Structure 1
């Protein structure tokens, strides 16, 4: 099942035309107000499409406690919409209650791991359901880090029983920025724990110090990311897959064409006898 991110330029078109989309993913925080027009539109959309809730505000890696008001708003949304998945990121974004407009990387230490797992356990207990953690994209690393990111993420999943949201674009972008092997990263994770996949585009930035890749979600999925995805489907089967596009948002038809590429990969691998679709 392949879906696209629900973005404001497309909401009216989706409500009016009801195009053939496998599912839709929202940014949870945009729909917290139960009396907003956005929430009313979401209720209507959820009557016709499966929806997942993808958050950016829990700041699970922060030393701050989880904002209980935020968590209560999330639970109220989840209880009403009954999404197919609820997720957030392996990151942090707050210090002493001050939030930053970014998903910042963690120092991969045992202390950070213990803190992050405690937060994931708290979220899952409060929501009463499985929670998915997404691997980040990053542009710097901490000298204090003692654990490779893929081992850290695997350990989070093992200790908490959470699911994983595997973003292939994030892996590919970070592999260039930090000089690691994408396949080593992917192989370290339990494929049975991967409950959702994200595919997106990135931007190359040139600086005097060299080149860096930025996870902008503003372009089509790159050929290399499609290859990573195809290999995953061939080896492990199909799971719900999302096309993300958050900046320079094109016509809905462009997103649906990207989704069709993912569907074609799943279908071709199934025809070759490699997988079964669900």
Structure 2
């Protein structure tokens, strides 16, 4: 496959590191530049092969880049892209990997240089950091891209090619539609998992097995990271929580009244929806 050129990654953690590993293992870039604030973490990323060179200086890291991927927490993405746009070439493509999109896309309608388009890889782990990065993280996973109405067709084509080259399936959504969807399939599950993890006492936790660990696994992710995500998408998450509580109350009432028909409807539909994923 043709080289994607020079790629700069700001924030070489789980996602950024996995992008770097995928690029290098697939021979898609000879220069993958890691940018960050902490030299020790950058050295680790280079040692693990996620990047070919590192820098703590944004200008030095992005000035020659053809593609820049911002992999920092959602509350910093707009600021970081604006900083990057001061130093990139006009034709450079800039994207991010944030779990929320409306605030980011609407905050980056106009930048100095480069062309921005939002991305959200629907891949990850409750275990963060570059030490947990893997080259096949995006293989057969969905990446949502969220162009603005001003986004050029060329940039839309380039971002699709980029993610597909890492093995992903690309879906295009409006940023508002994206945030509504992830509130249900990502942010609500995390909220439920976290609250559920608080329900058992120490003695009860001694009995915890597969059902508990499977359902609460994502509660083990970085709390500060998830606080920022939930706050940024709070309106959509509140709507999703309200719908969930409405159904949970119906389930509770059916259980209280021994209404097997309603209970089975929820249990069967839940089973069907889960099995439809095929994994």
When the two structures are superposed, what TM-score results if normalisation uses the length of structure 1? 0.34
Point out the structure with max Rg over C-alpha. 2
- Give the strand-richer structure, 1 or 2: 1
When the two structures are superposed, what TM-score results if normalisation uses the length of structure 2? 0.34
